[in-house]
Chain A
Amino acid sequence: MNGFDSQFFLEVLVGGLLSGVMYSLVAIGFVLIYKTSGVLNFAQGSMLLFAALTFVSLVERGVPFSVALLVTLAVMIVLGLAIERTVLRPLVNKPPITLFMATLGLSYMIEGAAQLLWGTQVHALDLGIDDTPITVGGVFISKFDLFAAGIAATMVALLTAFFRYTRIGLAFRAVADDQFAAFAIGLRLPRIWATVWAAAGVVALVAGLLWGARLGVQFSLSLVVLKALPVLVLGGFDSILGAIVGGLLIGASEKLAEVYLGPYVGGGIESWFAYVIALAFLLVRPAGLFGQKLVERA
C-alpha cells in the first residue's frame, strides 16, 4: 500500500454510489408505506422477489416482454391491494410493532407462494442492457449501473411529481403529516392506503427487475430488504430524500470499506458493515438524516 491510487479510489467510490442507488430503489418502497401508514413493511423484499419471478417466468413461457411487464404490473397492483385489504385493514390502530410482525408473516407467505408457483431454480433475467463498462473521465462505469441509476432517478421524479401535483398525492401528504387531521377533513384513508400499497407493488416490480437482472432471479432476491434496512435507518423511515442519500452513503462506504478495510479482517464484511454505519450514525441522530425528530408528548 505505498502511494494512494486516487484513480482506483474514484472507481470504487463511483461503483459504490451506483450500487447505493440500487439500495435506494428498494428503500423507496418502504418509505412510501411507512409515510402513510406507519408500517415498516418487511414484505417489500418478498414482493420484489414475487414480481421478478412472475415476470421472468412469463417471459420464459414465451410471453412477449411488454405483455409480461403489463401482466406483472397488474399482478403487483392486485397483490398490493389484497395485502392492504386482508392484512393491514384488520390491524388498523394496532401498535406499529404488531403491523411489522404481520408483514414478517406476509413475507413468509409471499416467498413461499412465489416459489411454490414458479419453482425454486435460478432464472437469468435479461433486460437487454449489456453490461459493458464505459469510461467517463477515465473512470470505468458499468452501463447497467448507469441505467439503474437513471431508472431510480425517473422513479423519484415521478413520485415527487405525483405527491406535488395530483389530488391523491396531496391527500397522501396530508395523511403522512397527520392521520387524524386527514381523517377529520374527510380523506378516505383506506383508499389512500390501497393506492400506496399498489404503488409499493409497482416499486417492487421495478426494483425486482433491476436486482433480478443483476443477481439472477432467485430466493435470495428477497434478502435485499436486509440491504435496504440500514439505508432506511440512516435516512429516516419517512423520507424519500433520506432513502436516496442513505443509499448512496451506504453504498459508497460499504464498497470503500470492503476494499480498504476488508483485507485486514478477512473480507466479507458487507453483511454487517452497513448496519454498523447506520447504528453509529443513529447514536448521534436517533431519527436518521431526514427523519422527523419528534419530542415525545406527555
Chain B
Amino acid sequence: MTTATLSASTSRPISAPAWFWPVAVLVVAYGVVPFVHGTYLFEAILTPFLALSLAALGLNLLTGYTGQLSLGSAAFMAVGAFAAYNFNLRIHGLPLVVSIFLAGVSSAVVGIVFGLPSLRLRGFYLAVSTLAAQFFVQWTLNKFGWFSNNNPSGVIDAPSLTVLGISFDKPVGRYLFALTIVVVLTALTRRLLKTQTGHNFIAVRDHELAAKVIGVSVLRTKLLAFALSSFIIGVAGALWAFAYLRTVEPAGFNLDRSFQILFMIIIGGLASIRGAFFGAALIVVFPLILSRLGGFFFGGVFDSGVLDMSQRIVLGALIIFFLIVEPNGLVALGDRLRKRLQSSQPSKTTV
C-alpha cells in the first residue's frame, strides 16, 4: 500500500534538488507567513494545522511505517496535554520547552504500556486493544481531579508561552512556537527513518516473520515505534492545548479525534511525511470550505447541524474514495499530477 509513495519519493520526479522544497516551505513559513495581517489565519487554520500535522506524523510512524493500526491517538494527545500542564504547574521554574518534552516522554511511557499487546496481537485484535487506551485515558483524566488541578469540569488552562524571556502568546507567536517544534520533530523523524531503526520499522511492517528471522528485534522495534509515535503525538497534544485552544478538557480528545488523525494519514498518504501534512491541511481546511459552499448554495438551511452531518458524509466518502482510487493518498495523487504536467510539456522547466 505504501510502495508507490516510497518509489515516488525516491525517484523524485521534480527537477529541483531534494532540499529545494523543504527550504522553500521553511522560508515562506518563517519569512512570509508571520507578516500576514489579521489573526484568523493563525488562530483558526495554521496553528491547529500544525498540531494536527504533528499528531498525524506520529501516527504515521506507527501505522504507516511500522504497520500497527492504532485507534487511540487522541488518548496520547490527551496525555501530552495534561502532562505538559502538570509539569508546568507543579515543578516551578521548569522551562516550558522542558515541560513539553517531559509531556512527550510521559506519553511515550503510556504508549509503551498500551503497545505491549502488539507483541502478541495482530491486525484487528491489536486495533481493538488500542481502543482500550482511548477509553482508559479519558476515564482517568475525568475521574481523578488531580490531573486538572481539581477543576470541577476537568478543564485545563494553558500557561503563558514564554521561552527565554520572549513571549509567544500572541497568535503569530503561538504559530511560530508550534511551527518550530513541528519543524524540529519532523526533521528528526525524517532522519530517523533513514537509519537502521527506521528500516526496522518498515521491515516489521512488510514482513514481520522475515524481520524476526534475520534478527531484527521485533519486540524492541514495535515498542520503540509505539514510544516514538506516542512521544510525537503527546507533544502534538501539548501544542493543541497550549498553542491552539488554550483551554481543553478530556472530552476534546475523544474517539472522533482519534479517527480524525487516522483519516489524515489515509487521505494524505500512509508512510509519507508529506502525507501527514497534506492530510492535516485537508482536514483543517475542508470544513471551512464546506461551510462556505453550503452557506452559499443553501443559505439558512445549512445550519451548524446540517454542516456537521454533511461534513461526516463527505469525510467518510473521501476515505472510501482514497482507499479505492488512490490508496497512497494525496501525496501520490500530487506526484502523479506533477508527472503528467511534466510529460505534457517536455520543455525543461526548472521550478
Say whether A278 faces chain B, with CB atoms less than 8 Å apart. Answer: yes
A102 and B323 within 8 A (CB): yes
Q: Which residues 132-158 of B sit at the A interface, judged by CB distance below 8 A?
A: 132, 135-136, 138-139, 142-144
A275 and B315 within 8 A (CB): no
Can you list 15 A-B contacts with CB-CB less than 8 angstroms, sorted by A residue number?
Answer: A40-B127, A94-B1, A98-B1, A101-B319, A102-B320, A105-B317, A105-B320, A107-B316, A108-B316, A113-B309, A116-B309, A116-B313, A272-B136, A272-B139, A283-B117
A111 and B128 within 8 A (CB): no
Question: Given the interface contacts A269-B139, A282-B121, does A116 sit within 8 Å of B319 by beta carbon?
Answer: no
Q: Which chain A residue lies CB-closest to B255?
A: A226
* Among B121, B132, B305, B320, contact of A109 (Cβ-Cβ < 8 Å): B320
Say whether A186 faces chain B, with CB atoms less than 8 Å apart. Answer: no
What separation, in Å, do the CA atoms of A278 and B121 have in the docked complex? 12
Chain B residues closer than 8 Å to A269, beta-carbon distance:
139
Q: Which residues 305-319 of B sit at the A interface, judged by CB distance below 8 A?
A: 305-306, 309-313, 315-319
- Looking at B129, B131, B312, B315, which has the most chain A CB atoms within 10 Å of its CB? B312
Q: Which residues 103-131 of A sit at the B interface, judged by CB distance below 8 A?
A: 104-113, 115-116, 120
Known: A104-B319, A286-B120. 20 other contacts (CB 8 A): A40-B127, A87-B320, A91-B324, A94-B1, A105-B315, A105-B316, A105-B317, A106-B320, A108-B312, A109-B317, A112-B312, A116-B306, A226-B135, A229-B131, A237-B124, A266-B144, A271-B139, A272-B132, A278-B128, A282-B120
The A/B interface has a contact count, at CB < 8 Å, of 127
B-binding residues in A (CB < 8 A): 40, 87, 90-91, 94-98, 100-102, 104-113, 115-116, 120, 226, 229-230, 232-233, 237, 265-266, 268-269, 271-272, 275-276, 278-279, 282-283, 286, 288, 296, 298
Chain A residues closer than 8 Å to B259, beta-carbon distance:
104, 108
Say whether B34 faces chain A, with CB atoms less than 8 Å apart. Answer: no
Chain B residues closer than 8 Å to A102, beta-carbon distance:
319-320, 323-324
A100 and B136 within 8 A (CB): no
Say whether B266 faces chain A, with CB atoms less than 8 Å apart. Answer: yes
What's the minimum C-beta distance from B1 to chain A, rounded to whole angstroms? 7
Say whether B327 faces chain A, with CB atoms less than 8 Å apart. Answer: yes
Chain A residues closer than 8 Å to B324, beta-carbon distance:
87, 90-91, 102
Q: Is the interface of B mostly helix, strand, loop or mixed?
A: helix
A120 and B143 within 8 A (CB): no
Say whether B18 faces chain A, with CB atoms less than 8 Å apart. Answer: no
What separation, in Å, do the CA atoms of A40 and B313 have in the docked complex? 20
A108 and B313 within 8 A (CB): yes
Question: Given the interface contacts A101-B266, A226-B131, A282-B121, does A268 sit within 8 Å of B143 by beta carbon?
Answer: yes
A116 and B310 within 8 A (CB): yes
B127 and A100 within 8 A (CB): yes
Say whether B123 faces chain A, with CB atoms less than 8 Å apart. Answer: yes
Chain A residues closer than 8 Å to B1, beta-carbon distance:
94-95, 98
- By Cβ-Cβ distance, the 9 closest A-B pairs, closest first, are A105-B319, A108-B316, A112-B312, A109-B316, A275-B132, A112-B313, A272-B135, A116-B309, A105-B316
Say whether B78 faces chain A, with CB atoms less than 8 Å apart. Answer: no
Chain B residues closer than 8 Å to A109, beta-carbon distance:
312-313, 316-317, 320
Q: Could you mark each residue 319-333 of chain B with 1 if its beta carbon is under 8 Å from any beta carbon of chain A, else 0?
A: 110011001000000
A276 and B132 within 8 A (CB): yes
- Looking at B129, B138, B305, which has the most chain A CB atoms within 10 Å of its CB? B129
Say whether B262 faces chain A, with CB atoms less than 8 Å apart. Answer: yes
What separation, in Å, do the CA atoms of A265 and B139 have in the docked complex? 11
Chain B residues closer than 8 Å to A286, beta-carbon distance:
120-121, 125
What separation, in Å, do the CA atoms of A14 and B317 have in the docked complex? 42
Say whether B209 faces chain A, with CB atoms less than 8 Å apart. Answer: yes
Chain B residues closer than 8 Å to A111, beta-carbon distance:
312
What separation, in Å, do the CA atoms of A211 and B69 have in the docked complex? 29
What separation, in Å, do the CA atoms of A279 and B143 have in the docked complex? 22
What's the minimum C-beta distance from B282 to chain A, rounded to whole angstroms? 14
* Among A271, A279, A296, contact of B129 (Cβ-Cβ < 8 Å): A279
What separation, in Å, do the CA atoms of A237 and B122 have in the docked complex? 13
Q: Which chain A residue lies CB-closest to B122?
A: A286
What separation, in Å, do the CA atoms of A232 and B129 have in the docked complex? 11
Chain A residues closer than 8 Å to B323, beta-carbon distance:
91, 94, 98, 101-102, 105
A104 and B317 within 8 A (CB): no
What's the minimum C-beta distance from B271 to chain A, rounded to whole angstroms? 13
Chain B residues closer than 8 Å to A108, beta-carbon distance:
259, 312-313, 315-316, 319
* Among B69, B135, B144, contact of A97 (Cβ-Cβ < 8 Å): B69
What separation, in Å, do the CA atoms of A40 and B71 have in the docked complex? 14
Q: Which chain B residue lies CB-closest to A96?
A: B123
Q: Which residues 245-262 of B sit at the A interface, judged by CB distance below 8 A?
A: 255, 259, 262
What separation, in Å, do the CA atoms of A120 and B129 have in the docked complex? 30
What separation, in Å, do the CA atoms of A113 and B311 have in the docked complex? 10
* Among B138, B262, B306, contact of A101 (Cβ-Cβ < 8 Å): B262
What's the minimum C-beta distance from A185 to chain B, rounded to whole angstroms? 28
Q: Which chain B residue lies CB-closest to A267?
A: B143
What's the minimum C-beta distance from B81 to chain A, rounded to whole angstroms? 19
